Structure 1
Amino acid sequence: MQGINSTQVTVFYLLELWDSSAGRIVFIMIFTIIYVVTLTGNLIIIIICKSEKNLSTPMYYFLSNLAALEMCYISVTVPKMLHSSVMDDSSITFVACFTQLYFFGSLGSTECFLLAIMAYDRFLAVCKPLHYNSLMTPRICNCLVCCCWSSGFISTLSSILFISALQFCGPDYIQHFFCDITPLLRLSCTNVHHTELFIFLLASIILVGSCIITMLSYIRILTTVLAISSGKARKKTTSTFTSHLTVVTVYYSTMIFVYVRPTTSGFSGFNKILAVLYTILTPLLNPFIYSLRNKEVQSALKKLKTRTQIYIDSFHCSSK
C-alpha cells in the first residue's frame, strides 16, 4: 500500500445523520436498540443451531454462519456511528477508514456467496431429496463455508489495494455515514477511471454472479413446489422458500443498484437510504425472518427458554 504514504489527507469526516441535538439523541437510542437486538437475535440463532441435535443439518449450519456474519457485518458500521454521535466527532483516520472499507466489502461479498450456497442447498433438498445426504455431507458443507469466507476476504483485498494507490488531496468530507467505495473515490484527486472499472467488474461478478445462482435455484424450487400434490408438504416448503427469498430480494436488489455501476456520478441521497437497508435492516431482520416462519426453530427456542428458566430457578434456590 504505497499510496497511503503519498496521500495528503490523514483524516476523513463522515456524514452526520442528525440536524439537531434532539435528533442526535433519537438517533443514538434507535440505533443502539437496533444494534443490541440484532446481536441478540443472531446470537440466539447460533446457540439454537449449535445446541439442538435436530438442527444439526446443512441448512442450519449455513444459517448459523449467516447469523455470525450478520453480527460482524453490522458491527463494522454501527459502533462507529454511535461513537461519533456520542462523542460529537465524525472524524475517522485514513487507516481506520480503509480498514472499515475492507471488512465491510469482505463481509458483504461473503454474504453474497453464502446466500447463493444456502439457495443451492435448498435446491438440492427440495429437487434432489434422494441424493441430498450424499451431496451435502459435513465435509462438503465445511468446504463450502470456508470457500465463502476466504473468497469474500481475498476478492475485496484487490479492490482495497487499487483504492489505496490513489491520492486524496481534499476535500476530506465523505458524503456517507461510513467509508464506502463510491463516496471515497469521489474525494480522490487522481484519475479513478481504471479503479472504477475494476471495482465495477469485480462487483458485477460477485453480486450478479451469486444472484443468478440464487435465483436459478429458487426458480427450480418454485417449479418443484408447484408440482407437489400434498398441500401440507407444499405449505412447509413454501414457508422456507419465502423466508429465504425475502432476505435475498432485499439484499441483492439494494446491493446491485448501489454497486453495479460503471461510474460514481450516480451516487445520491437515495443510495444512503438503500445503504441502511443492506447494512442495518437486513442483519436485524434475518433472525426474525428465519425463526418466525420456521417451526423447528420455534420449537428449539421454546426448549432453550425452558432450560434457561430452570437454570435460573435452580440458581435462585441454591443462593437462598
Structure 2
Amino acid sequence: MKAAVISISEKGRELSLRIKKSADFIAVERFCIRSYSDFGSRCFEDIGGLVSDIWDKYDAIVFICAGGIAVRAIAPHIKSKTTDPAVIVIDEGGRFVIPILSGHIGGANALAVRLSELLGAQAAVTTATDIGGHFSPDSFAAANGLIITDLNGAKAVASAVLSGERIGLLSDYECINIPEEITTEPDCNIGLYIGTEDKTPFPVTLKLVPKNIILGIGCKRGTDFTAIDILVRMSLHNADIPMERVAEIATIDIKKDENGLLQFCEKYGLELRTYAAQELMETEGDFSSSLFVKKVTGVDNVCERSAVKCGGGRLIIRKKAANGVTVAAAEKPIILDFERKIL
C-alpha cells in the first residue's frame, strides 16, 4: 500500500518521520507544509491543492492534523467507496488514529489499527461490523482480491450479519477459516456466491468475482498504446472475461520501459511485473514457440510464459497476436481466507 502522510506542524512533521522510519507495512511518502519541512519530505503550501494533486495517486492518505482540516480538504474529491483512497486522521500528539473514508474496501480501518499499534495510540474505528467483531463483506472482498458486483447487496449482507442472521456461502474456490456467521447450508435467505458463473443460489445473493487474471503481453519496440489496448480488450471479450478481473501485467524485462505498455498499465491502474529471459524459459508449461522471438528476446514466447510465471496458474487465453502485440492470460489459483487482512 502506497501512503501519503501529510503534516502541517512541527509535531506533525516529527510524527510523520516516525511513521516513515517504522511503518514497514506501507510505502510512505511524506508531505510537510513548507514552514515545517525537512530534507526527506516534499513541501507544500496549500493543503487543498496538494490533495487535488495526489488524490488518485496513493492508496491511502494520512493527515496529521485536526479532523476538520482533513474533511474540508478531501470533500471535493470523494466519489465512491470502491475507488476513493483510504483516508486517516491522526492528531499531532499521536494519541488517536481515526479512519474517516474507505474503511473496508480501501483498507482505512486495517491501516488505522496497524498505525495505532506502531504509535501506541488508540484506533477509533466506528464501523458497526468492526466494533462487534463481525464478518464484513467489504473487508473480506478487499483482503481476498474479490470484486463486489453489487454495493446494495453488500449492505444487505452486512445488515443481516448485524441482525444475527446466518449468511449462506457457495464458492467455486476453496475457502478457509469460515466464521460462525457464514454457513454452507443452502437454505438461507441471503448469501454469498463467489465465482464467475451466472448463479443466484439464494433469494438475495451477493456475487463476488475474483480479480485473479494475469495478462502476459509482448510487443515490438515503439508499439503504440492503442494497439495494445485493442488486442487486450478483444482477447478478453472473446473469452468472456471482464477487464476488472485483471490483477497484473507481466512481460520480459527488456520491455520494462516500453512507453505504450506503461501507458496501458497506468490507464487501468495495474502493476507491471517483468522477468528475465532465462526465468521465462525455465517456466514449466505447454507454450507455443517462435524461433524468431527467441532470437530477438532470448525466449521463445513472451506473453504465455510471463502470464504463467507471474500467476502460477493455467493459461486460459493462449497467444493472440496483432499489429506487433502478443497477448495471453493465466488464471491465478486462489484460496479465500476469511481471516485475511488487507495489510
Higher RCO (C-alpha under 8 Å, 6+ residues apart): 1
Structure with the higher fraction of residues in helix conformation: 1
Scaled by the length of structure 2, what TM-score is found?
Answer: 0.30
Scaled by the length of structure 1, what TM-score is found?
Answer: 0.31
